[in-house]
Each structure stands twice: as C-alpha cells, then as structure tokens.
Structure 1
C-alpha cells in the first residue's frame, strides 16, 4: 500500500501571514492538530502544529526563557512572541512522495517524532497523512494469503524465518500437522525465539504454534 492510497486529499492549509490565534482557532474548529502552511502560489513552506504553540507568551512567563542564555534565544523569543504563523511554523517540512510505501511513512513519523506528513507530487502538495490514517491501515490489514495445505504453510514459515529474521535454515526445523506449526532447533536469544513464534503465527493457515526452540548463546 502506498501513501496515495491512505492520504487525505482535502487538505486545509493556512498562509504564513495568518495570525497564530487564527491558526489555533482553525485547528480547534476542525479538530486537527496541525496545518500545512502555503504561500500565495500554493507552495508548501512550513507546517504549524500544536507542538509549535506549547511555549507561547500568551501562556505566561513559565512557558518561555526569561533571559538569553545562548545565541538561539532570539529565535526562541520570536517563536514564542510573534503573531505571524510564518515566524512560528516548523521548517523545513518532512514530506513524502505519493508513491512511497506506508511503511516508509510510518518510519519517518517515528524517526522525526511527528504526527502528520504532507504528500507531494513533484512540488505540489496533493494530500496529507496523519497517524490515525496509519492506524486505519493497520486495522484493515489481513494476513497475506498462501496456498492451502500443511506443506505450503511449512515452506512459508521457513522462508519467513530466513528472510525476516535471518535465521540459518539448518538451525531451525519447521513441521506442520493439520495446520499446527511446530518449531524446533536453536536460536541465540529469547528475542529471536519470540520473533520466530510471531512469524509462524502471522502465516495465514497456521492453526497454532508449538515453540520448542532452544536458546543457545554463542
């Protein structure tokens, strides 16, 4: 599944010349936690989120540094006091191409600790993906179908153990009887043992898993 398959195509945006209070009201009225910021030509120039507004002068002196401590403080003062969205927004913006996989989108969100990612087609913003869109994709996911029969399940489990976990094909034995998968052999850690169980459980057609793998540290 790709970014374009789950993105919201109707994107509400604001101008860098809008006021911070207008932006806050817009987020509240539309029940959203962030807004892309676009210039007069529609070009994405930043993004304003709830996080950008947590240290505002309107919240009192405790929300922002009272005395300059380093060369970045003037910038912090501008961000906490300016009424212009353009001075407060986050930039540059983390974006994704519409043909990027949703797995990559989720990884970018986690790595950058962000809740939304604009989706681009060349220089044009064509949508936006929020964490809730990722959750909906997970909720709708179903196991990959495989051919029926114990031997097909055995081959699928063994292949996934090798490709996903990098386990040595000769170190793990997989048998399947009436859909129940039995794992035997040895792994190097409890984490590998549990991951092997999960691999077997996610194979469509596996009726149950007996995990008899032994832990043998190198």
Structure 2
C-alpha cells in the first residue's frame, strides 16, 4: 500500500514558548534557584545571540552531590559518559555543567519527527529553533503526549477535514466517523480496499487518535493481483 502524506501538527503548536534560559556564565546556585522557582527539570543555555549551546538538567546538578563536588573517588566503571558526569561534579558555572551540544529541532518540524528524535537521543526535551537557529521554545515528552488529551470532538473535526476532505478528496457522506475516548471508528463504502486502508492510515496520524476501528466496506480487493 502506498504511503500517503497528510497534514500533521508542527512542533511550534505544542512546544513551551515561555522558556527559562541562562547564559554560559550563570553560576551553579543561580541555576538551581531557576529550576526550583520555575519548577523545571532543565534549562537551555544560550549564547549572546540567543543560540542554544547546551542544556543543564537536574541530573547535571546532582553530580555535585553524588561525587561530593569532585572530591569523591572516580567511579570504578569509568566509561566516557560516567567520566563526563564525574567532571561536572566540580562545575561552578553553566558552561562547566551543561550537556553540549544542545539537541535542537526546527519549530516547523512535525510532532512525529520530534518524538522520534527524543527517542533516538534518549533525552527528555529538545531545544526548538527558528530559521536563524535562535531558541524559540522547548518541546518535551510531556508536550507531545499531551496531544492524547484532545477532546473527541476536536479529533472528529480533524478526521472530517484533514482525512476525508483534504486528504482523500471524498464527496461528503462517503465515509463517516465516530470518536470515543480517542478511538476512531470509520464506516461507509468505497470501491477499492486500498482506499479503505488509506482512510485508516491517515486517521491514525490525526493528533490524539489512540486507535482506529476500520469498518469501511469495499467492493474490489485491489491488493490481490489477478491471475494471468
């Protein structure tokens, strides 16, 4: 079956725009104060041009307690990652504490692309940048999974508009959809089986859809080659 592209929300539609940032010279205690005051687990570090250069997370600051400010003995299992973590325990500024470089994504990228990058890099958040590379927001795992809290009515409206009308160019009434607790049920009749499959495929891509029950009937199974 041919992969069909359709509308998908961008990172800028789900990201946190009011971002707490710090500079590379920001002191350790000030970083902890910012995290505590704003109840965030990580702070993007930006340069003088507003470009993200790294991120200081709670894990980075905890290294100081874990290794007693660099005075504790080096860990026995001492791979590259653990060595970097141990060195941070003596850090006094954002430059010495941050994980760099910052992992970034364009504000125009899809939410799916953000989810894949988060999984690939095994991080909790991404720095969102504009066309010029400046920080404009942060997108986290929580921001992305929050799409599953959308109301059924919103999901249904997107199915009708972006799947049936714009995605498949179907005449009104050809297919019908119902959404209950994020599960979409599709019904109706089409000529080809692949059309029914495409409807299910596109519906699954709608933000907030947890599952699809495809009950669309078809007249011809065009997925099976006819005998010569």
Contact 2:70 2:87 in 1 (8 A): no
> So what's the TM-score if we normalise by structure 2?
0.62
Offset at residue 14 of structure 1 (A): 0.6
RMSD: 3.5
SS across alignment from 1:83: coil
Distance 2:106 2:88 in 1: 29
Indicate yes or no: 2:149 matched with 1:110: no
Q: Deviations along 1:138-180, whole A, 9 cap, x unmatched?
A: 221725234235214985543367899xxxxxxxxxxxxxxxx
Counterpart residue number, 2:95: 86
Q: Which residue of 2 aligns with 1:193?
A: none
Moved more, 127-136 or 94-103: 127-136
* SS of residue in 1 equivalent to 2:87: helix
Hey, what does 2:220 align to over in structure 1? none
* Distance in 2, Cα, partners of 1:71 & 1:128: 30
C-alpha spacing 1:65/1:142, structure 2 compared with 1 (3 Å): farther
Partner residue of 1:35?
Answer: 43
- Equivalent residues of 1:115, 1:130 under 8 A apart: yes
Q: How many residues align?
A: 170
Q: Which residue of 1 aligns with 2:225?
A: none
Structure 2: segments with no counterpart, 5+ residues = 1-8, 165-174, 177-186, 204-209, 217-228
> SS where residue 9 of structure 1 aligns?
coil
Q: Secondary structure at the match of 1:142?
A: helix
Conserved in 2, the CA contact under 8 Å of 1:17 and 1:86? yes
Please state how far the C-alpha of 1:95 moved relative to its aligned partner: 0.6
Q: What residue is the counterpart of 2:143 in the other structure? A: 133
- Are positions 1:120 and 2:159 aligned together? no
- In the other structure, the counterpart of 2:189 is 151
Instruction: Tell me the equivalent position of 2:155.
Output: 142
**Residue 7 of structure 1 pairs with residue 49 of structure 2:** no
Q: For 1:114, what is the secondary structure of its paired residue?
A: coil
Q: 1:154 to 1:24 in 2, by over 3 A?
A: farther
Compared with structure 1, are the counterparts of its residues 151 and 63 closer, same or farther at alpha carbon in structure 2 (3 Å cutoff)?
Answer: farther
Q: Residue 151 of structure 1 aligns to a residue in which SS? A: strand
1:66 to 46, 54, 73: 73
